[in-house]
Structure 1
Amino acid sequence: MNAVPPRLIDFHCHLDLYPDQAKMIAECERQGVVTLAVTTTPKAWSRNVELAEGSRNVRVALGLHPQVIAERKSEIAMWERLLPEAKYVGEVGLDAGPRFYKSFEDQTAVFDRVLSACAEAGGKILTIHSVRAVGQVLGHLERRLPPDRGRAVMHWFTGSKSEARRAVDQGCYFSINSQMLIQERHRELVASLPLNRLLTETDGPFTQTAGRPSKPSDVADLISPLASLRGVTAESLRQTLLNNLRLLVTP
């Protein structure tokens, strides 16, 4: 692949849910978008790794999404077997929304196993889902994953400012997408986060840009408004984000 050096970051994107995953990976290479391809089930791991083999800019995360736990909780055993192959973990976490609350107890048991396995292995970087469950997620992180045993990135974080401070104290990073800048309450939250803990994401194809599913290169459209919110230039922010990523992934 003809890869362009890293220019932008999409730290949470479901590349395997696009009609042509190989095409999306090639675009990340050409456009210099460092992209974390998250998975929702460990059964998707092998194919994702195969397609991203040789990519400079795309990495694959080993996931077991909380929204599929009701049907797939038994796959935690497969996830644990595959963990030695993975540096990145996600999408994992908890979802206490109305559609998924019935499985919350099972979600909690699986998330505990995920965090315990990551702590035992050491050096893993996790992208974490926390819909209506930020406090519970942070409690599990405090108990199961010390900051020196793994790094957590809070994906699409919508907790309170006090929960954000608690996450910062635990060493968490935050991946920001364009949807988080729409409501004033969320804009204020993003404005309050430490600049050196920020990354960008799309969560494509679950977000939209110009009336179509977002793709990794669309993070370019987030740089200027996020920079304006934080009172820095777009180029300064872009460089800060790349430096944040380097510090996150460097042992």
Structure 2
Amino acid sequence: MTHAAEPLPAAVLQALTHFDTPTICNALEIVAPSRRLNGYTVKPLVCPFPNLPPIVGYARTATIRATSASELPAAEQRARRSAYYEYVGTGAGPRISVIQDLDGASVGYGAFWGEVNSAVHKALGCRGVITDGSIRDIPQWAPDFQALAGSVGPSHAYVHVTAFGEPVNVAGMTVRSGDLIHADRHGAVVIPFEHAAQLPAAVDLCSRREEVILKVARSRDFTLERLKEALTRSAEIH
């Protein structure tokens, strides 16, 4: 299992919650240009709570299956689940659960997430979940616990944790245990630790560049020539 050696200052994480995830992706393009094509979700996910604010936290990773029962004896399976919960509830916080469903073409067949696990994970210090599997019990979901999921479904089938603490891939985003995650209704992105503190300044730069263009685009006096001028001025802002 991989964990961050040193958690980032709480003020850095708090500052990142002030921006939506697309804005964070824009800022990463400035401070880490190589991240333009990777490190974020690229497939659509369901967000039943789109009005919740962005969440930021350290990843707790796991894999699940639901189309077949666990091959472990019941006592061992309970022990694995207890160990998983201990893993989720320890280490630097806040935390975000990131779970990959291994059921292939039947991904989402059974929901690991619902009333119980949303409440348990919230109590363990998680801010939300990102999964390509399914979720259920939307009306009974833990309050203020964000969810991005591959689908919504009614049953948990044979869902069980197969492993935890290892790298996972959810909706095209590769995540290691302990990675810093930013997520909202749009999706999620992994933030490299070395760039986290630089992002607010990069967001400000993006905003100043965009404002020049938006001011013209929203003006009653909009013309193509004014737009071209605005694009030139925007590119000159550093």
Q: TM-score with structure 1 length normalisation?
A: 0.33
| Highest RCO, 1 vs 2 (Cα 8 Å, sep ≥ 6) | 2
Structure 1 or 2, whichever has the larger Rg, is 2
Q: TM-score with structure 2 length normalisation?
A: 0.34
